[in-house]
């Protein structure tokens, strides 16, 4: 996981509509960049729906929300449509951005060690990580991040 004060790594990834998005296009806005493991799973759905519910408040505070996982753009499109997610979901099947942000880590899954995405959320302002939260609770993370914008 990257620490606060670190320059946020640039990315160039496809969103749920197949458009290539970069971090630099959001310069001047606060970016909530959250990493999650898989579309349509219970925890990831709770987190995404929480961000969707609070999205107007994030926009009022000049922030955009961007979710990243290794799922395909098509999977993201279906996820966004099913749950009416109003924010950007980025596809990173090559794990380049996921690794650059230090969230591809060893995890315990049913007693076995596996590699996977550790649920992590960053607040990025002017290209710099100003807040970093690792192993966040899916249901609590959206409200937590909104409070960080106060």
By annotation, the residues acting in catalysis are: 44
Looking at the chain, which runs of residues are DSSP E strands? 12-15, 20-22, 30-35, 63-69, 88-91, 104-109, 112-117, 120-125, 128-134
Cα separation, 39 vs 12, in Å, equals 20
d(CA 50, CA 1): 23
**Which residues does 42 contact at the CB level (< 8 Å), separation at least 6?**
none
**Strand, helix or coil for residue 11:** coil
Element spanning 58, H or E: helix 42-60
């Amino acid at each position: 996981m990257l620490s606060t004060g670190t320059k946020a790594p640039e990315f160039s990834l496809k969103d749920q509509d197949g458009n290539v998005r970069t971090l630099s296009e959001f310069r001047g806005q606060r970016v909530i960049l959250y990493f999650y493991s898989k579309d349509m799973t219970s925890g990831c759905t709770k987190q995404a729906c929480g961000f969707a519910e609070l999205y107007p408040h994030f926009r009022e505070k000049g922030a955009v929300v961007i979710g990243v996982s290794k799922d395909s753009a098509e999977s993201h499109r279906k996820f966004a449509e099913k749950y009416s997610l109003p924010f950007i979901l980025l596809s990173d099947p090559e794990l380049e951005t996921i690794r650059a942000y230090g969230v591809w880590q060893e995890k315990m899954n049913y007693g076995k060690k596996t590699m996977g995405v550790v649920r992590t959320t960053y607040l990025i302002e002017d290209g710099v990580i100003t807040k970093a939260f690792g192993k966040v609770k899916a249901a609590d993370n959206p409200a937590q991040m909104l409070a960080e914008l106060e």
